[in-house]
């Protein structure tokens, strides 16, 4: 039996399998099996009211999971699936509460990674009924930690709690999918990703709005403390970086710096990691860099704040939360 067939068999048996996607690695379970879903929450240490994204082999599966599907969803699926876009739609009545966090909506996406698609087809093929063939998969990290972009990261995060880790190499995109709410009202981006508002707007015919409702933290990735390394991380305007680093060094602290250019001349207690000036490349490397810098055991990670341009929105969002989460 090949790796993918073995993974599909484990998933059918209610086990957890981590698999690669183009964004980050997912921790997969049969979305129609409540015991399997419970294992996800236990493995991640994640609060049970946080909904999960259901991964599908292709858009023809939408009707099994959602109702009142708007034309916009079909257009976006045709344009961007497989790809880093999650659509929030009205849930089909048979979708498990454990998957939706008890909400009347469900998050759906078709990931763009050959191994993920192979797995979804093999797993989905044997489950043709309503709510069959979907894999619920959050990012394969412990709750609040940095998301994994390699199989080795998944092993560090979840080790023995998963039955199998499918290794598909480093994730191409590197940060989580864009989440777009199409469940009613105007289209709204709940979590920015590398598929940006402009690309979505070009298909919709109008730019989506941003942000979830206040007082309703429906997207766990929208909590302030998230994606965090254990070393305190501080976002600093590029112009202030040298002074901030110098001050920390003067205080006797060991400092790791992630910035496009070295902030001060070489210092024994400073490590500089060269950051890409290209948003897509920066996103691709971001989580692996944060893990590397975290592993140095410094007292502080300083990150140069990215440009205020739209192309950097998703990266800036993750960095802001990493800074909030590491306090």
List the one residue from 17, 23, 192, 313 that touches ligand TXA (CB under 6 A).
Answer: 23
Binding-residue total with ligand TXA (CB under 6 A): 27
Residue 127 or 177 with smaller CB distance to ligand TXA: 177
CB of residue 221 to Mg ion, shortest distance in Å: 5
Q: Which residue has the tokens 């797993």?
A: 123
186: number of Cβ within 10 Å: 11
Residue 114 or 297 with smaller CB distance to ligand TXA: 114
* Interface with Mg ion (CB under 5 A): 139
Q: Residue 51 binds what, of Mg ion, ligand TXA, none (CB under 5 to 8 Å, by partner type)?
A: ligand TXA
CB of residue 46 to Mg ion, shortest distance in Å: 8
List the one residue from 32, 118, 139, 150 that touches ligand TXA (CB under 6 A).
Answer: 139
What is the crossing angle of helices 114-125 and 3-12, to 10°?
50
Coil vs helix vs strand at 277: coil
Residue 286 contacts ligand TXA per CB under 6 A:
no
Q: Residue 103 binds what, of Mg ion, ligand TXA, none (CB under 5 to 8 Å, by partner type)?
A: ligand TXA
Residue 21 contacts ligand TXA per CB under 6 A:
yes
Residue 139 or 326 with smaller CB distance to Mg ion: 139
Q: Which region, judged by CB under 6 A, interacts with ligand TXA, from 10-18, 22-30, 117-125, 296-304?
A: 22-30
Coil vs helix vs strand at 264: coil
Q: Name the residue among 66, 110, 62 with its Cα closest to residue 89.
A: 66
Q: Name the residue among 163, 123, 157, 115 with its Cα closest to residue 140.
A: 157
Here the tokens at position 269 are 């207690």
CB of residue 75 to ligand TXA, shortest distance in Å: 20
Per-residue binder mask for ligand TXA (CB under 6 A), 178-207, x = binder: -x----------x-----------------
Per-residue binder mask for ligand TXA (CB under 6 A), 54-73, x = binder: --------------------
Query: Do 287 and 148 contact (CB within 8 A), yes or no?
Result: yes
CB of residue 38 to ligand TXA, shortest distance in Å: 15
CB of residue 95 to ligand TXA, shortest distance in Å: 9
Residue 51 or 263 with smaller CB distance to ligand TXA: 51
Residue 149 contacts ligand TXA per CB under 6 A:
no
Instruction: Please provide the distance, in angstroms rounded to a whole number, between the alpha carbons at the two ends of the chain.
Output: 47
Q: Which region, judged by CB under 6 A, interacts with ligand TXA, from 106-114, 122-130, 256-264, 311-319?
A: 106-114
In this structure, is the dihedral angle defined by the CA atoms of residues 59, 61, 62 and 65, taken in order, positive or negative?
Answer: negative
Residue 88 or 236 with smaller CB distance to Mg ion: 88
Residue 106 contacts ligand TXA per CB under 6 A:
yes
CA distance 9 to 228: 34
CA dihedral 224, 206, 83, 184 (to 10 degrees): 70
Task: Identify the DSSP state of 132.
Answer: -
The beta strand positions in the chain, using DSSP E, are: 17-19, 26-30, 53-55, 66-67, 85-91, 105-109, 135-136, 164-165, 178-181, 188-191, 209-210, 233-236, 255-259, 270-274, 300-304
CA distance 110 to 166: 17
Q: Name the residue among 224, 227, 186 with its Cα closest to residue 204.
A: 186
Which positions lie near ligand TXA, rule CB under 6 A? 21, 23-24, 26, 50-53, 86, 88, 100, 103, 105-107, 111, 137-139, 176-177, 179, 190, 218-221
């Amino acid at each position: 039996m090949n790796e993918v067939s073995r993974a599909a068999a484990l998933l059918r048996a209610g086990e957890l399998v981590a698999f690669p996607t183009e964004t980050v690695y997912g921790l997969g379970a049969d979305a129609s099996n409540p015991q399997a879903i419970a294992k996800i929450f236990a493995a991640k240490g994640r609060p049970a009211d946080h909904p999960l994204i259901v991964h599908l082999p292709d858009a023809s599966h939408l009707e099994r999971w959602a109702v009142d599907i708007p034309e916009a969803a079909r257009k976006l699926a045709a344009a961007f699936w497989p790809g880093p876009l999650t659509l929030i739609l009205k849930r089909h009545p048979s979708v498990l509460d454990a998957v939706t966090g008890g909400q009347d909506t469900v998050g759906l996406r078709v990931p763009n990674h050959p191994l993920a698609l192979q797995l979804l087809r093999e797993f989905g093929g044997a489950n043709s009924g309503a709510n069959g063939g979907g894999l619920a998969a959050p990012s394969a990290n412990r709750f609040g930690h940095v998301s994994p972009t390699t199989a080795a990261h998944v092993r560090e995060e979840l080790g023995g709690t998963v039955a199998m880790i499918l290794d598909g190499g480093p994730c191409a995109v590197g940060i989580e999918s864009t989440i777009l709410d199409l469940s009613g009202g105007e289209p709204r981006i709940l979590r920015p990703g590398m598929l940006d508002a402009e690309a979505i707007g070009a298909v919709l015919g109008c730019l989506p709005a941003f942000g979830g409702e206040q007082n309703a933290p429906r997207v766990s990735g929208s909590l302030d403390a998230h994606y965090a390394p254990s070393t305190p991380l501080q976002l600093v305007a590029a112009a202030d970086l040298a002074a901030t680093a110098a001050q920390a060094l003067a205080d006797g602290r060991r400092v790791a710096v992630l910035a496009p250019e070295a902030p001060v001349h070489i210092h024994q207690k400073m490590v500089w990691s060269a950051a890409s000036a290209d948003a897509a490349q920066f996103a691709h490397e971001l989580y692996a860099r944060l893990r590397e810098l975290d592993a140095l055991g410094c007292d502080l990670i300083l990150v140069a704040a990215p440009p205020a341009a739209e192309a950097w929105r998703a990266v800036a969002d993750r960095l802001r939360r990493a800074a909030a989460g590491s306090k």
